[in-house]
Amino acid sequence: MFDQKTVNLIRSYSYEIEKRGELSQEVLDVIYEQKLFKLFVPEDLDGRMMPLPDAIKVFEDAAWVDGSFGWLVQIGSGAGFFVTTMEPDWASEVFGKRDVYIAGSDRPSGKARAVDGGYIVTGEWKFCSGSKHATAFTANAHVQGSDITHAFTFLPEQVEVIEDWDAFGLKGTNSHTFKVQEAFVPENRTFDVLKPHFHFDNPVYHYPFVPFAAANIAATTIGIARHFFEEAKRLVESKKELWQQYEPGRFEQVTKKINEMETPFKDEVEKFHVLIDRTWDQHVRGEMLSDLDLIDLQELCKSAAGRAVSGAQVIYRFLGMGAIMESTDLNRIYRDLHAASQHKLLV
């Protein structure tokens, strides 16, 4: 998916992305040119509309390039699932843009009251990745006087972004809180992701939503972990001559430890991709996915993330004082891995 020139370009901005807390314009331009926020958007809306297994590989590779970049590619594309739940004209307006990006939350932490033609919504939602470059915001709110919860779409001018993302990893994702106060949302800008209308149709939109979301996030975590193992090996190789001179046996010991931790991680990743491919093939053939397969997939998402984190923690202890310096690539990747794997669908 990413040629070496693109990898080098994005990684050349990794330090800046972390310090600024958001993607640079140069990296956003790569995303827009390659339509990386539109992997699940129909071609009619200038999207790429990928099969799920292909998109999973893109998410993994993007996160391997850079954690914050990969996280936002995955979150941005995942919102394409909303295309088929929104009213067609509104979906076309939202997703037809070259620079479309939806920041949002599934937490029902807002309140809405029905009025003529729509709703008045007030609320505040945390952890909305990509909030600084969003072209639209979505969030859930409870409709007062009912037991209904709707998803609402807000325009950027209706939203106040509260810059409070101070996590120790994925710093470049600008996953800030946003709030709205007495914002009017027309009826046609509400939707329910669990009750799609399939105005735009594709097998992706029929795949069970929770396993779909878990697989996307797991792929991102896997990609960051791949980068961590590679960077750990590179660091150890760079110290080989020094260690062999002053600490005989250390190079061999640490190399062995990396291999010991990476092997079970790779095994879980292989199982993950095999099950994604198999369930997707069944799904496309019109076969109902079994509850057991869906449970297995969600457990593999968790176990792959678990192997990645536990392996990284063990290896980290062997890498010396340089590994604790936040300015190093290894340290940033280590922190990104822990931040990504903390998502509720992976624990």
Q: What is the pLDDT of residues 1-48, one digit of tens each?
A: 899 999 999 999 999 999 999 999 999 999 999 999 999 999 999 999
Q: What is the pLDDT of residues 98-155, one digit of tens each?
A: 999 999 998 999 999 999 999 999 999 999 999 999 999 999 999 999 999 999 999 9
The alpha-carbon radius of gyration of the chain (Å, integer) is 21
Cα–Cα distance measured from residue 318 to residue 300, given in angstroms and rounded to the nearest whole number? 28
- Every domain range in the chain assigned CATH 1.20.140.10: 207-346
Cα–Cα distance measured from residue 282 to residue 88, given in angstroms and rounded to the nearest whole number? 29
Give the bridge partners for 178, in sequence order: 125, 161
State the pLDDT at residue 198. 80
- Every domain range in the chain assigned CATH 1.10.540.10: 4-85
Q: What SS3 state is found at 192? A: coil
CB proximity list for 176: less than 8 A, separation 6 or greater: 128, 131, 132, 161, 162, 163, 164, 165
Q: Which fold has domain 207-346?
A: Butyryl-CoA Dehydrogenase, subunit A; domain 3 (1.20.140)
State the pLDDT at residue 254. 97
- Taking a C-beta distance cutoff of 8 angstroms, is the pair 187, 90 a contact? no
DSSP, res 110: E
Domain 102-191: assigned CATH number: 2.40.110.10
Q: Which of 219, 21, 47 is nearest to 133 (CA)?
A: 21
Q: What is the pLDDT of residues 186-235, one digit of tens each?
A: 999 999 877 777 888 999 999 998 999 999 999 999 999 999 999 999 99
Q: What is the pLDDT of residues 306-330, one digit of tens each?
A: 999 999 999 999 999 989 999 999 9
> Residue 49 CB: number of other CB atoms within 10 A?
19
Q: Which fold has domain 4-85?
A: Butyryl-Coa Dehydrogenase, subunit A; domain 1 (1.10.540)
